[in-house]
Structure 1
């Protein structure tokens, strides 16, 4: 019996994502064993720093570096990430496979609705994109930086005297915490992080991994793969990352074409530039690059430059 080691972060959400991913594989390949191995990331060890301060380490992600290193060494055979945690460039010798569908891409406001928030309400989130989008709609809000896994962040509504927190709907759904959702935030005002809601299935590119890649490809969704590739190409062209307020969402239209929406925000939400572009699903990277160029032409470069200067000065 072939045995493969599957790596992930240590959180309950990461474990739930691995179970979700392996379920159809175990049904299709009953003679293959998949063993889960937890890998502790730098961003999980550092619970004090702000998300914007720990998200990028040595050009990579503090929430994926250790997993990618373990995969490159051969300590594990495949890693199941939250795709939004991954940098847009794969390390040499690694690649992403099409994910098995996609959860709800939207952000969720937990503890209240937008309309139900009092003036000056205290809302918890550590993501610059979410902060910018909230302030663009409700500049009166007091944003409280929070970090941690999903249940502890929800708990901070009580322990930190918050009126609400913003979390990815996908994580809430996967953990069975749908009852915590007060409102799913609209995509036109709150476009998600590129790749949000999708799993990042990362493997090695060497010949010995070919049988595993073929096996994993049987559960991949090519339409979703095109969507996330377009979103990540947009982010890459804008030289964005977890610390830069860029939102993107691609969807496959009935005729098979892709439609990509992108948004760039200043850190305080006072400036926002958005645009939409369509293109063939067979060329998602070209669509992402073309929309990035359109946003730059509309003035996004000045917003992004100001964001980078502000982040560098912190």
Structure 2
């Protein structure tokens, strides 16, 4: 039997939506390994773990402590590694959000096992095989993990959450003593506005220099709002100070794999394509018919974005009745 530990992410005592993706990926792998899924939740007292069995968790290990409310990489990794040592899973699975990208390598280092990061699929027939993008997303390759244990982080939106009912038995586990110095929280500054994380959103509407000036990004924001999506941006507009770096998509920004990616006024530099090429459906709007973005787009509109985008937004509002 090959059990799988799914490390779930919480923020301010609430589990994030990507946890369902983590569990779905872990469940599929555990089924192929004839094992169980152990969901691990580390955080403050009171985190709601109801319903995790509905997405495939056989057992839910809850490690609560008021000192664990804010993420601390060294402490979280120690807890996960200790539990992995106790339960002996064949794999530890996370989603490659900022949380997973930081925590995954830490756990792998403590366990002395390989890390497969930012994968787009996992299979567990004769050994665990993962698929990763390469060459700025132009190709993919399969990697077979021959170690007895591994840590895997899977790209957000690469897995569609699926309801698979399991027991989801909740077990309390103690955080244990640690000789690793913890972090001291000096202050917590909340963002002025709460927006969808572009790396986790199912729909992303991104804009580039074709918008001509920062004020015109309202067109992007309005379309993203009616689609319940996140706003993305090219490196050029971020470097120009039009948008925050948290919205940047590309090699030097965030890698995204949404169900729908709408590129508006974006030419499609190779660095940008590397960050969004694995999107399931790509729609491009640009007045330059030779723009590189059209080579990867599933649907393209050649024309003036200042005419197309407002009309598109209004039509979607009518369809949605908003």
* Larger Rg over CA atoms: 2
Q: As a proportion of its length, which structure holds more helix?
A: 1
TM-score surpassing 0.5?
no
After TM superposition, the score normalised by the length of structure 1 is 0.28
After TM superposition, the score normalised by the length of structure 2 is 0.28
Higher relative contact order (CA 8 A, sep 6+): 1
